[in-house]
Amino acid sequence: MVRRHIAEFIRQRDNNPSRWEDIIIVPGISAAVKILSNLMNFSSNGLPPGVLLPVPQFPLLTRALTEFGVKKLDYFLDEETGWSVVVDELEQVLLNGKIHCQPRAIVVINPGNPTGQLLSRKNMEDIIKFAEREKLLIIAFEV
């Protein structure tokens, strides 16, 4: 019932469909990171899994990923443009990361923590297109 209400809220807020079946509720960010890290923690072609992480970000993510053997691939937010995500940066980090791990996901924090920035609609769309093109799971923390 709660997931249905959340899906309806998202549908009304974003004026887009939202499926309750795609919503997972967890008891806090620590549990979410541990569950996702554990699910992604399998090697492919002898390479460990990797996750693209924004910098700056809160250290809990790095700690939890490291605990499960997931390699972190830092991408730097652009302070000059209000801490936005730059797709060229993502592409370079992904390319370099594929040498030592199998990237499986990208973490997006919106609003940013600790920056407090809000990503623009275009920035979010660019991230979604990038993730789809590269077959990356989007892990979105929306506080």
User: 19 lies in a domain?
Assistant: no
What is residue 73's three-state secondary structure?
Answer: strand
User: 60 lies in a domain?
Assistant: yes
Per residue in 30-88, pLDDT tens? 787 777 777 777 767 789 999 999 999 878 778 878 888 889 999 999 999 989 999 99
User: 5 lies in a domain?
Assistant: no
User: 1 lies in a domain?
Assistant: no
- Counting the structural domains of the chain, the total is 1
Residue 71 carries which side chain, given as an amino acid letter? K
Report the candidate in 137, 143, 117 with the shortest Cα–Cα distance to residue 50: 137
Backbone angles phi, psi at 16, to 5 degrees: -140, 155
Q: Which domain holds residue 86?
A: 27-141
What's 44's domain CATH number?
A: 3.40.640.10
User: 66 lies in a domain?
Assistant: yes
What is residue 33's three-state secondary structure?
Answer: helix
| pLDDT attached to residue 27 | 83
